Structure 1
């Protein structure tokens, strides 16, 4: 433990020159298709004579 104390002063942290960019590509296709399927089912049930 005593041997680690001198190393504590050797750690330097610096902020990056450029900002950190986090890209979030979220795929919501499944939710949209599910909603469209529900809407289509309701439309078919309401207008059964058309289909």
Structure 2
């Protein structure tokens, strides 16, 4: 069978190519309508421990430093 003087094998290949082109996926990248919100609930606790040498503690208690 020849349609427009095109062999059957070529015609079937053309139909397959057109089908593959028609089914190609498309990807759209769009910005969101609402802004992106990042909610960080962070609780920071710290504890500072200071060890004072007994001699230094006595020196500060006597006010002899200044």
Do the structures match in fold with TM over 0.5?
no
- The structure where helix makes up a greater share of residues is 1
> Which structure is higher in RCO with an 8 Å CA cutoff and minimum separation 6?
1
Calculate the TM-score normalised by the size of structure 2.
0.36
Calculate the TM-score normalised by the size of structure 1.
0.43
